[in-house]
Amino acid sequence: MVTASESDRRMRRRSAVRDRILDAAWRLARRDGVAAVSLRNLAREVDLTQPALYSYFAAKNALYDAMFAQGCEQLLATVTERRYGPEPRQAVKQMVADLVRFCAADLARAQLLFERPVPTFEPTPESYQLAIRFFDVGSELLARAGASDPAHRDIFTALIGGLISQQISNEPGGDRWTRHADEVVDMFLDHVNRRKDSP
Amino acid sequence: MVTASESDRRMRRRSAVRDRILDAAWRLARRDGVAAVSLRNLAREVDLTQPALYSYFAAKNALYDAMFAQGCEQLLATVTERRYGPEPRQAVKQMVADLVRFCAADLARAQLLFERPVPTFEPTPESYQLAIRFFDVGSELLARAGASDPAHRDIFTALIGGLISQQISNEPGGDRWTRHADEVVDMFLDHVNRRKDSP
DNA sequence: GTCTATACATCGATAGAC
DNA sequence: GTCTATCGATGTATAGAC
């Protein structure tokens, strides 16, 4: 007979192995690139055989999806736990700075979240929902700073995404582009608020 | 004995086959994505066997490099033949509009030039030189509009690149992001020139 | 659950005959 | 230059023993 505590232990153990697999996948992704993670290498890394991975992930894209969700949760935790000050413009700058730091801290993670390093992989709607929650936090802060127009939100996304993407692609590890984040935020908010005051 | 005209015919023929291969590669890239171009499909498309392609391109990345160079030449031709009006701000807007049109006209080409659709491929210095020449044209126009500071050039690159990249990734074929190009140019040039007038 | 073993399809790339 | 044949790698998936 299977008692509740037995099944509990089983679940725990299963989840622990799953986490070890994910950790190893991140390690390989950081070393060789997200797209270069192979199931055979991954299995060797956690002392399993390649077919055994299918007990934890139904397919390789399910592994990527779990990584995507994990990255989103980390990003969400970063901006949720943070208390952004009452001054709206400063709050936006702090949030952008957190995002820049988040990306610089793990380029593979940033690539998986914001670029498309694996052409055949698209996050499931469930995982993507986590990404949307992050955008919602940003939208809230933006709105308080005077940019509630969806068009302005799109522009802002493109501006910040552009800085980060140029940084990752052309000078990973540096700050040639991202160091201008504050200036771009100021430029953008000045622009938005000027338009509102004198239309 | 090999006469000059015979060797000439041979070169011509070789170059013609090479062009047919490149055309087919672009066709496949537009249909299936840049990364999904396979040498076997490509060979079938031009009625050759897969190993025969190695007579024309030393490796798959050499094919990508030739495509990259071709795309750069087309972009360079677009902005070089154009006569951008004497009003600097208008000229920058026209150049950005040309760039947006260029990208929208062939998403696969834009991806190969401005994103990194094939993780293992990096353009050779020779090909990248063509890309630099395009940037130089843009820098010239930007400088005339008051943005000659390298830092400002970096910011501008990120802003426009961000708009185009968001557009390609999230809504290929639409203009949700790129339609704001003129507004972003104005915002940027206002910002740059304001800083200069009142420091 | 995990293993061994195997299978199928794809891919880039190479050797050697012609 | 082009072919046939082949190599080693990949992702994916399954069967069957333990």
Share of chain B above pLDDT 70, in %: 98
User: pLDDT per residue over B65-124, tens digit each?
Assistant: 999 999 999 999 999 999 999 999 999 999 999 999 999 999 999 999 999 999 999 999
Q: What is the pLDDT of residue A3?
A: 64
Q: State how far Cα A142 lies from the chain centre.
A: 19
**Is strand C within 7 Å of residue B50 (CB)?**
yes
Task: Provide the CB-side half-sphere exposure for B168 (13 A, CA).
Answer: 28
User: Where does the pLDDT of residue B178 fall: very low under 50, low under 70, confident under 90, or very high at 90 and above?
Assistant: very high
Size of interface A-B (CB pairs under 8 A): 80
pLDDT along chain A (199 residues), means of 10: 72 94 98 96 97 97 98 98 96 98 98 95 97 98 98 98 97 97 98 82
Taking the CA of residue A3 and the nearest CA in chain B, the distance in Å comes to 49
Q: Are A161 and A172 in contact (CB under 8 A)?
A: no
Chain A residues within 8 A of B160 when measuring between CB atoms? 162
Tell whether the model's pLDDT for residue B186 goes beyond 80: yes
Q: Is there a contact between A119 and B116 if contact means CB atoms under 8 Å apart?
A: no
**Band of residue B2 on the pLDDT scale cut at 50, 70, 90:** low
Which residue of chain A is at minimal alpha-carbon distance from B161?
A162
Residues of B with CB under 8 A from a CB of A: 33, 35-36, 115-117, 119, 151, 154-155, 157-163, 165-166, 169, 176-177, 180, 183-184, 187-188, 190-191
**Pick among B121, B132, B159 to test the A interface (most A CBs inside 10 A):** B159
Question: What local confidence, expressed as pLDDT, does residue B56 receive?
Answer: 98
Give CA–CA dist A32/B181, Å, rounded.
36
Q: Which nucleotides of D are covered by protein (CB under 7 A)?
A: 1-5, 9-15
Q: How confident is the model at residue B189 (pLDDT cuts 50, 70, 90)?
A: very high
Q: How far is CA A74 from CA A62, A113, B58, in A?
A: 18, 11, 43
- The pLDDT of residue B73: 98
Of A36, A159, A190, the CB nearest to B119: A36
**pLDDT at position A195, please?**
74
**In the 8-state DSSP scheme, what is residue A180?**
G
Q: What tokens does A134 get? A: 């992050």
| pLDDT above 70: residue B1 | no
